[in-house]
Amino acid sequence: MTGAGSARRRSRHDRRQGASLAVRVLLTAIALAGHHAGTASAQQGRPSIVVATPLRIQPPAQVALPVQLSPLSAVPPGCFIRMRGLPSTAALSDGHSIAPGAWAIPIAALTRLEIVLPEGATGQSEISITLVSADGTVLAETKATLVITARPAPATPPAAAAPTPRATTSLAMRPIPDAPPPPAETRAAPLLSPEAHERALRLVKKGDEQLADGGIAQARLLYERAAEAGLAQGAMAMAATYDPTELQRLGVRGLKPDRDQARRWYERARQLGAADAEQRLRRLGGS
């Protein structure tokens, strides 16, 4: 009896151990399957940066800078785009400069992002574009090439043929009155669409931010683009960066005033309908 009972107990113990081992193996397999599925899901939903490259631009220009995130739904809240390697003379329509050639751009601004390049800029730049989370973690990164080329020079028109001299007569000729001088060049203020007006206002606002941070070259570039679009505030802001009185009022130091440039931009602002331009011209001694 004793031997048979011991055998039965050992058999039950072995069955329990076998069942326990089978359960542990099954749980381990389920856990591993869940881990692999979660990893594959995370990799599948990880955002990436899509940008056309190379970007070819002929300055002076203000053109779209196409940067997209895919899928946008995978981008966590609080993220932003960081660009490095831009030319120091370049400016962006949105975001803010964090260092020479480096900008931080909010995600919501990517659909309307534009790059502004002044006349005379040339060369090639390798731009690093990263998606950065709120805690500074880099979630995605890519690179793009910016190629800046000069505009081709306009073709020189052929020289006009010399006119054939006409024979003179002995008849008395009535004196020809002097022709009136040509009128001074004037440019009418363009009629801006609401979208163009809003875009130009954003350029002025961005220029104000650059000026406050000491980026005078970037500020002037943005103001000039706004003025060229037909916004009087852009011309006034541009003139103020040369006006000694305005520079002193703004607290800008280390910048040499230029009355001729200030007068030129106040004249343009007056043509665009700026009410204060006439007063500032008188203050400068302009007409």
Domains of the chain by residue range: 48-148, 194-284
- List, for residues 7-64, the tens digit of each pLDDT value: 566 655 555 555 555 546 544 554 555 444 444 444 457 899 999 888 899 888 888 8
**Looking at residue 41, what is its pLDDT?**
40
Say if 48-148 and 194-284 have the same CATH topology: no
Angle at 36 between CA 31 and CA 40, to 5 degrees: 150
The maximal CA–CA distance of the chain, rounded, in angstroms, is 161
Superfamily of 194-284 according to CATH: Tetratricopeptide repeat domain (1.25.40.10)
Residues of the chain with pLDDT under 50: 1, 23, 26-27, 30, 34-43, 167-186, 287
**Looking at residue 274, what is its pLDDT?**
92
What is the topology classification, in CATH, of domain 48-148?
Immunoglobulin-like (2.60.40)
Q: Which two tokens stand for residue 47?
A: 């955002």
**Looking at residue 179, what is its pLDDT?**
41
